Amino acid sequence: MNFRISQLIALGLTAAFLAPASFAKGIAVDGTIVCPSPPASQTSAGTISLGGANAANTGVSGLPVWACNDTLAMDTEPNPFFTFDNTTGRFDTWIDLQGQSQTYVESNPLSTLQGAGLVTLVSQFSIYQLTGIQSGYAGNLTSVSGDYEMQFNYDNYGGSGPCPATRASLTWGGHSWVFTGAGGVGLCDLNSTNDFLFSSSGTLLGYLNTSGSLVAHSPPPGWVSAPEPGTLGLGATGLVLMLLLRQGRRARSAARLTA
């Protein structure tokens, strides 16, 4: 991302907040990310639709969320990783307006929004369709074209204040994952990545660590697979049928005893 250093110093943003987007360590803010449209629709619990049955929830509710976009198609940080399709990329950003108007958000790049007396960028879910690997990448991936990278990021990554969320969830390609903090990991911890990599067909390939390398066949630390709603439904139905069958057998046994 093309960060404008003079703006960032003036705003007093922290280095943790400005970590490269591909590191999944802080909300992506720069002069090329803009939110030109009104807030996206979401449920009262904070879930946003990603099309079809796909959905994401950063665990932050009660705030408007903007589906922002990027005018660049690559990271330009000191440690660049991937290029991506900026026509399909989204940076859904939950924003506490702090008395500012919605038009203020929609008419300024994210890099200029936060600061004393301005808005607070609370959380962000980002989705990129990757197109390639940039020169200088030192991770273990050799091809990412067509893959999807998805990140959950928070405003105080590595900060001293409380994390704005303790739960999060993602549904993609017919499967769901939830953040439970398994292993003692927190959403805003320094060692949290919250960075998923999916194939073009929707299969979870694994998660990306802080060097951009793939840890295969696993969601990020603290995340677990969630039972599918259909599976839960079948389980409940099966339990009811089991109880009915047991009751039927008991009734037949009682009838034989009294015969």
Helix (H) or strand (E) holding 9: helix 5-11
Q: Considering the entire predicted model, what is its pTM?
A: 0.79
CA distance 2 to 14: 16
Burial 223-258 (b: 16+ CB within 10 A, else e): beebeeeeeeeeeeeeeeeeeeeeeeeeeeeeeeee
H helices of 51-155, in order, are 102-106
**pLDDT on residue 77:** 55
**pLDDT on residue 188:** 87
Is residue 191 within 8 Å of 185, Cβ to Cβ? yes
Sign of CA dihedral 63, 64, 67, 69: negative
CA distance 126 to 149: 8
CA distance 122 to 180: 20
**pLDDT on residue 213:** 95
Is residue 189 within 8 Å of 166, Cβ to Cβ? no
CA distance 119 to 125: 18
117's tokens: 């007396």
DSSP 220: P
Is residue 26 within 8 Å of 17, Cβ to Cβ? yes
**pLDDT on residue 23:** 39
214's tokens: 């793939």
Three-state SS at 189: coil
What are the mean pLDDT values of the chain's consecutive 10-residue runs (259 residues total)? 31 32 63 93 95 96 95 72 92 94 94 85 94 92 96 74 92 97 89 92 95 95 82 41 46 46
Q: Where are the domains of the chain?
A: 5-226, 228-259
- Phi/psi for 246 (5° steps) reads -65, -45
Three-state SS at 70: strand
